[in-house]
Structure 1
Amino acid sequence: MRRKLPSTAALAAFEAAARHQSFTKAAAELAVTQSAVCRQIASLESFLGVSLFRRGQRGVGLTEAGQRYARSVAARLDEVERDTLDLMAQAGQGGQGGSLELAVVPTFATQWLLPRLGRFHALHPGITVHFSSRTRPFLFADTELDAAIHPGVGLWPGTEGRLLMPEPMITVASPSLAASRPHWSPADLAKLPLLQASTRPYAWRHWFESLGLTVENDMAGPRLELFSMLSEAAAQGLGVALVPRMLVDNELASGRLVQLLPQELLSDRCYYLIYPEHKAASPVLATFAAWLDEEAARYRAEVG
């Protein structure tokens, strides 16, 4: 059956005119005449049987139907452009390449993954990894994402994946706060502002309980969304943070943060590479997953 699709030229003209709210500016962007844009949009409206623009003395404006269609068309053209650029890049590498759309939690990406990604690019220069920030689980069917690296208790329904590493959490504070006492005990921490992670609301309670302590204010304190915010707040002396060790290695090495107590809390979450079942056969994903396995194994060996 023949597809019922408008021409790409008409869609491009419509998207540009909708974005600029002007046929003249759209024509300038597309390097065609204004009359050519008008003809393309008129043919599109005839094809659809719907008016997309209101014409008036002061110019043009989108109808309600035009607004909805403009959002949809812009998203689809962006996807086509992205796929086209990916294919062109792959062709430029002799066909040995591709791209990967990866969802990541922001702090893990900036503190752990990105510092290591240069090694991946050196081994696989034809593969481009695109990052999207996601802090919560999501449905792959609602996205164009190929995979996700996410801390959780297991794989998501309808997905496959692999375990990368556990999540040991440690107590950190600024050097000045750490130096305010010669010795620290778990009970001492209960007297400090406890910086809270929005994604780990019971982390401090579990840490104190693992040491046989019950603390009334274990869930009180400033609440922050990202671990990068927690570590920065701790570095600024705003309190003590309980964060995954892998996300503050750089700060500990530079001295911006100090581990207050040696006791760790092994979180009930682990970091997983997760992907939809239908993506499992992707050569690009398989290449990235194998490299990520090696990097995670190397890190686990380094930290013991």
Structure 2
Amino acid sequence: MVAPIDFEKDKVDLAVQFGAGNWPGVETELLFKDLIQPVCSPKLIKSARLSELDDLKKVPLLHSHYRRTDWPDWLMAVKRPDLLANEGISFPSSVLTYQAAVEGVGVAVGQLFLLRNEIQDGTLVPLFNAPFERPMAHYVAWPKQRPLGRKARSFIHWLKGQIAESLAAAS
């Protein structure tokens, strides 16, 4: 998990943060929820014959350093914590984890909203029709003691509009 921004130290007006949205001294607005699901390349689906949960034993599970609980959370949601015995491969970032999935190295748990382009173009395929919404989300955040100005409000409005467009296009 990435540490929350320290508005006193970092001297920024706004930040996009991932978490529960209840940071001390901070106001937040929800941007999008954390909907996760295993994803992999179409090539790996075919070569490893991935069609049921037990097939995950045949391939490496790909883990992101900053999203260490994705696999445990998803496997608990589908009532298969036994599959965590597959230690898999860890990567220092989600970007590298998802790239390894695109390349057919293994199966990653993906944030569906952030991977919508790869899913739409068929580079990555969601597996098992079992998305799981975690209690965390992406938020725009700002310090409570600094009211938002017109420009910051306009930016938040624009950002939320972009996200709404992307969500509408994905469904």
User: Alignment partner for residue 291 of structure 1, among 149, 158, 161?
Assistant: 158
Partners of 1:137 and 1:190 lie apart in 2 by 35
SS for the counterpart of 2:104 is coil
Residue 159 of structure 2 corresponds to residue 281 of structure 1: no
Instruction: Using structure 1 for the length normalisation, give the TM-score.
Output: 0.52
Q: Which residue of 2 aligns with 1:268?
A: 135
Q: Which residue of 2 aligns with 1:197?
A: 64
**1:1-304 counterparts in 2 under 5 A?**
135-182=2-49, 184-215=51-82, 217-218=84-85, 220-304=87-171
Instruction: Using structure 2 for the length normalisation, give the TM-score.
Output: 0.88
The amino acid across from 1:138 in the alignment is: I
Q: Alpha-carbon deviations, 1:251-273, whole Å to 9, x = none? A: 22222222222111212211100
The amino acid across from 2:134 in the alignment is: S
The amino acid across from 1:200 in the alignment is: R
Partners of 1:217 and 1:166 lie apart in 2 by 24
Shift of 1:189: 1.4
- Return 5+ residue gaps in structure 1 as ranges: 1-133
Q: Which has the higher helix share?
A: 1
Partners of 2:140 and 2:63 lie apart in 1 by 26
Count of aligned positions: 171
- For the 8 Å contact 2:37–2:74, the answer to whether it is kept is no
- For the 8 Å contact 1:155–1:272, the answer to whether it is kept is no
- C-alpha RMSD of matched pairs (Å): 2.2
- Return 5+ residue gaps in structure 2 as ranges: none
Q: Using CA pairs below 8 Å that are at least 6 residues apart, which structure has the higher relative contact order? A: 2
Shift of 1:165: 1.2
- For the 8 Å contact 1:159–1:276, the answer to whether it is kept is yes
CA spacing shift, 1:219–1:136, aligned 2, 3 Å: farther
SS for the counterpart of 1:271 is strand
- For the 8 Å contact 1:160–1:280, the answer to whether it is kept is no
The amino acid across from 1:189 in the alignment is: L
Identity of aligned residues (%): 27
- For the 8 Å contact 1:171–1:241, the answer to whether it is kept is yes
